[in-house]
């Protein structure tokens, strides 16, 4: 041992946690949940099913007034077998708790949609399998990107996030041509824009990243819809290298205007800001003729005047077995202090 230079902190394992009693999933337990679950709880269930895994920090930032209140409620949902959790190992510090959908939560979601759990496409082993996925960090990173965007909207009365589709949902709709990391919409005042997100984690080659423009061009040609592509990179240096390659391949497209592209780097966010987010002035269009400097997210359409306005009633066809996407914005509180769901939440009909 005296010849081992590895620090003791790097050798530590997880501290054994006291076992938390949990309620077994049964028909009787699911009946009790009808009384216990709030609209916010049901929103969390849908979000976990849609986006696979969310950390405790992300859930509390999205839907709770404080981390303590969120942690206490998540503990109750875990005890009721509505959610499951795991904590990835890191050599320095402690990772936040990661939450996934548990069997009781899947049963509630399937019952709301009027389908069986099998039709929902849920399997408990697959839900927990994300803990060992090599794409866990990438999935959490994409979810953190949207969490920051939604948190900004929660503190800005002019902003909202009307849509946030996961990589899985995007693959079901567009997978034969392209598989974006996410699809989203951002509304600020009277301006609303939609976009595909490519979240670069620095693990793939820039040539592979740039090669995705061909798929987006094929999608635009087949659908007749021009949708901007936002590429988020970790550093300014990697962004500069990516832009050179992207610009060359973008110009080689038959119709470059059908694939508007903008890039940004995470290190450009202001660390002194109370709510730094991708909505800040960090975006640089690939074809920035006449529009110099970084743009805010809702100002990007100024660089692409040929992009048609977003249709408010956009709702792609889906099969009966596919659950509807949850609204990204969490439930709000009514004037009497009780939780109220948004229009996308089913409310009990009055007798």
pLDDT digits 0-9 by tens, 179-206: 999 999 999 998 899 999 999 988 889 9
Higher pLDDT, 304 or 338: 304
Share of the chain above pLDDT 70, in %: 84
Q: How confident is the model at residue 271 (pLDDT cuts 50, 70, 90)?
A: confident
329 occurs within a structural domain: no
Q: Does 278 lie in the same domain as 140?
A: yes
23-74 pLDDT, tens digit each: 778 888 888 899 999 999 999 999 999 999 999 999 999 999 999 999 999 9
* Same structural domain, 156 and 263: yes
Q: Is the dihedral of CA 267, 276, 278, 49 positive or negative?
A: positive
pLDDT at residue 17 is higher than 70: no
The number of folded domains in the chain is 2
Q: Is the pLDDT of residue 9 over 60?
A: no
| Residue, of 24 and 233, whose pLDDT is higher | 233
In a domain, 308, yes or no: no
pLDDT of residue 330: 86
Judge whether residue 174 has pLDDT over 60.
Answer: yes
Q: Which of 133, 168, 193 is a domain's end point?
A: 133
| 297 in the same domain as 264 | yes
The answer to whether residues 312 and 298 touch, using CB atoms and an 8 Å cutoff, is: no
Does 253 reside within a domain? yes
Residue 115 lies in a domain: yes
Residue 60 and residue 176 in one domain: no
- At residue 98, the pLDDT reads 96
For residues 345 and 334, the model is more confident at 334
Q: Are residues 100 and 163 in the same domain?
A: no
Whether 127 and 141 map to the same domain: the answer is no
pLDDT of 237 above 90: yes
The answer to the question of residue 216 being in a domain is: yes
**Pick from 104, 133, 162: which residue ends a domain?**
133
Whether residue 341 is contained in a domain is answered as no
Mean pLDDT of the chain: 85
Domain check: are 171 and 43 in the same one? no
Amino acid 6: pLDDT: 45
In a domain, 324, yes or no: no
Same domain, 113 and 159: no
Residue 88, domain extent: 9-133
Looking at the fold, whether 129 and 140 belong to one and the same domain comes out as no
Same domain, 145 and 294: yes
Same domain, 124 and 209: no
pLDDT digits (tens, 9 = 90+) for 279-337: 999 999 998 655 568 999 999 988 898 888 886 655 444 443 456 789 999 887 543 44
We report the CATH number of the domain holding residue 125 as 1.10.10.10
Reported pTM: 0.85
What is the pLDDT at residue 147? 96
In this model, does residue 3 exceed pLDDT 90?
no
Last residue of a domain, one of 98, 113, 133: 133
294 and 172 together in one domain: yes
Instruction: Name the pLDDT band for 342 (thresholds 50, 70, 90).
Output: very low
In a domain, 346, yes or no: no
């Amino acid at each position: 041992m005296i010849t081992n230079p590895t620090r003791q902190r790097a050798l530590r394992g997880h501290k054994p946690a006291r076992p938390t009693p949990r309620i077994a999933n049964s028909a009787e337990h699911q009946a009790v949940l009808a009384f216990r679950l709030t609209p916010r709880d049901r929103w969390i269930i849908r979000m976990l099913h849609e986006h696979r895994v969310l950390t405790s920090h992300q859930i509390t930032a999205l839907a709770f007034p404080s981390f303590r209140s969120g942690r206490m409620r998540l503990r109750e949902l875990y005890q009721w077998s509505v959610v499951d959790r795991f904590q990835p190992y890191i050599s320095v510090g402690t990772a936040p708790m990661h939450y996934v959908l548990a069997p009781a939560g899947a049963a509630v979601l399937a019952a709301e949609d009027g389908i069986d759990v099998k039709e929902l496409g849920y399997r408990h082993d697959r839900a927990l399998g994300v803990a060992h996925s090599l794409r866990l960090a990438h999935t959490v990173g994409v979810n953190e990107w949207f969490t920051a965007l939604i948190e900004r909207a929660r503190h800005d009365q002019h902003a909202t996030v009307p849509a946030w589709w996961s990589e899985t949902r995007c693959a079901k709709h567009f997978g034969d041509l392209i598989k974006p990391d996410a699809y989203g919409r951002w509304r600020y005042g009277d301006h609303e824009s939609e976009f595909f997100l490519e979240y670069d984690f620095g693990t793939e080659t820039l040539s592979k990243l740039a090669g995705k423009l061909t798929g987006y061009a094929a999608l635009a040609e087949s659908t007749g819809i021009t949708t901007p592509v936002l590429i988020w990179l970790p550093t300014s240096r990697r962004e500069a290298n990516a832009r050179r390659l992207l610009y060359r391949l973008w110009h080689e497209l038959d119709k470059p205007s059908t694939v508007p592209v903008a890039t940004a780097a995470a290190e450009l966010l202001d660390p002194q800001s109370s709510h730094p987010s991708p909505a800040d002035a960090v975006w640089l269009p690939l074809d920035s003729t006449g529009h110099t400097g970084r743009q805010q997210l809702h100002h990007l359409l100024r660089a692409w005047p040929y992009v048609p306005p977003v249709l408010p009633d956009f709702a792609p066809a889906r099969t009966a077995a596919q659950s509807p996407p949850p609204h990204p914005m969490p439930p709000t509180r009514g004037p009497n202090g009780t939780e109220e769901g948004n229009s996308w939440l089913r409310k009990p009909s009055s007798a």
